[in-house]
Amino acid sequence: MRMPRSIHGRMLALSVVTTLIALLVSGFAIGGVLDRFVTHNVDQRLGDRLMLLGAIVRKDGTIDRALLDRMTVETAFAADAAWRIDAPGGAIGGAMLRGMVVRSDRDGTMPLGPVAPPGDRRRPPGPGGPFEALLIDGTRVHGRADIVPTDAGPVRIAVAVPRRTIDQPLRSAMLPLLATLAIVGIVLAAATLVQLRLGLRPLRTLRDRMVEIRSGRARSVPEDQPDELRPLAVELNALVRDNDAALATARASAANLAHALKTPVATLALDLSGDPRGGQVARIDATIRHHLSRARNAAVDRRAATPLAPAIDDLVAVVRALHRGSAVTVDVAVPPVVVAIDAADLDELVGNLLDNAARHARSRVAVSARRDGAMVVLEITDDGPGITAADRDRATAPGVRLDERGDGHGFGLAIARDLAGLYGGSLKLAEAPGGGLVARVALPAV
């Protein structure tokens, strides 16, 4: 049998099976005790009668009829029991239940039939031993038999009552017993359900916290857990930390690769300045930038939370410094919102867009942001010449390789588009009211 997939199901199935077994075992045990108790009582009564019957067997192997008559009258002896006395020569007295005749018995000794002749190897019922037998009309009886030694040989006395004398009280005792056991079973099942629900709750809570880590709302699971779950929580946190460290290493490697390649490329570019082969250097540079941005993107940390306004202020200061020669002013109106994007990636995304805007603007760049549901929408507007609708679509179309686009708007827009996409946001380009370009970035808010 296959186990259910859920722990809840497994524990429930196990609990149901074990409860059923326990109920069955206790039902049988208590039933057995009751059976023995009732049978013992009947056997005692039968033993009393055996003693009475033994008293009417005389020493010479005959029965004292006068005594028997008195006894049956006084004790209503034959009203509810069958009895029989057998001498070696045949039955010498007896009364069947309502005149019925013994047909057979379980082990074939026919305790109510004639006594086996001497030398018969079949075992007679032991003195006083109980037996079960079947009467001619099918009535099952329970009885006891005894051997009385006389001068004429052993005389056997047997007395029996119908089986229902035992079964009826037994049944009336078993019914409430079974009802009680059923109630116990139902209560146990309910207790198991409650216990499972309560017992498995820490697991559900732990899973909810893991979801929070993945969505960036938490950096670790609480280690204050039940004893069984604490090692798991500790290991989970270690795993999260290892993951963070691996992310940092990957980013550092990408940056190191940049430094290692860019200086020799710069030397080549300098040596080849004015040489037509300088174009090859530009291609090398474009390739490095393309793959570096991809390496950086592969190391995206979606759990980050970065305040938007300070980052924008820093970047605007940088863009103002880089474009100090131009007469472009940058206006910033950014409310205090936090976005779920790594600080360096946010710098990269917004820096590229701001730089684009500042390079193409005639006189003014405007930066604004607002909260829109679960997202923060950042708008960077310039009053430059803008780009055509076809180029706008191309610049933000997914899957277009970065280095397939020319200089100008292309590269920075592609980086911004890819980063926004990686964090579950988007970059859309539109025409500004004055004819310039609006870059609209939606980023998940924290």
Q: How crowded is residue 409: how many other Cβ atoms within 10 Å of its Cβ?
A: 24
Write down the least CB distance from residue 326 to another protein, Å. 11
* Among 343, 400, 430, 432, contact with another protein (rule: CB under 8 A): 343
* Among 64, 132, 314, 431, contact with another protein (rule: CB under 8 A): 314
Q: What does the block give as tokens for 13?
A: 């199935």
* CA atoms of 81 and 68, how far apart (whole Å): 15
Q: Does 324 bind another protein (CB under 8 A)?
A: yes
The residues near 277 (Cβ < 8 Å, ≥ 6 apart) are none
Q: Does 400 bind another protein (CB under 8 A)?
A: no
In contact, 427 and 420? CB cutoff 8 Å: yes
Q: Residue 127 or residue 264: which is nearer to another protein going by CB? A: 264
Q: Does 347 bind another protein (CB under 8 A)?
A: yes
Q: Does 196 bind another protein (CB under 8 A)?
A: no
Q: How crowded is residue 262: how many other Cβ atoms within 10 Å of its Cβ?
A: 16
Q: Does 250 bind another protein (CB under 8 A)?
A: no
Q: How crowded is residue 363: how many other Cβ atoms within 10 Å of its Cβ?
A: 11
Q: Does 317 bind another protein (CB under 8 A)?
A: yes
Q: Does 248 bind another protein (CB under 8 A)?
A: no
Q: Which of residues 256-295 bind another protein (CB under 8 A)?
A: 258-259, 261-271, 273, 281, 285, 289
* CA atoms of 112 and 157, how far apart (whole Å): 8
> By CB under 8 A, which span of 74-82, 192-200, 217-225, 255-263 interacts with another protein?
255-263
Q: From the DSSP assignment, how many helices (H) and strands (E) are in the chain?
A: 10, 13
Q: Residue 58 or residue 262: which is nearer to another protein going by CB? A: 262
> By CB under 8 A, which span of 9-17, 170-178, 340-348, 428-436 interacts with another protein?
340-348
The residues near 358 (Cβ < 8 Å, ≥ 6 apart) are 319, 322, 323, 326, 328, 330, 365, 382
Q: Does 325 bind another protein (CB under 8 A)?
A: yes
- φ and ψ of 44, to 5 deg: -65, -40
Q: Does 255 bind another protein (CB under 8 A)?
A: yes
Write down the least CB distance from residue 435 to another protein, Å. 27
Q: Which of residues 54-83 bind another protein (CB under 8 A)?
A: none
Length of the chain (residues): 446
CA dihedral 8, 10, 12, 15 (to 10 degrees): -140
What is the DSSP-derived secondary structure letter of residue 57?
B
Q: Strands (DSSP E) along 24-129, which ranges?
A: 82-87, 90-95, 102-105
Q: Residue 139 or residue 293: which is nearer to another protein going by CB? A: 293
Q: Residue 351 or residue 386: which is nearer to another protein going by CB? A: 351
**DSSP strand pairing (102-105 vs 130-135):** antiparallel
Q: Does 395 bind another protein (CB under 8 A)?
A: no
Q: Does 322 bind another protein (CB under 8 A)?
A: yes
Residues that bind another protein (CB under 8 A): 255, 258-259, 261-271, 273, 281, 285, 289, 314-315, 317-318, 321-322, 324-325, 343-344, 347-348, 350-352
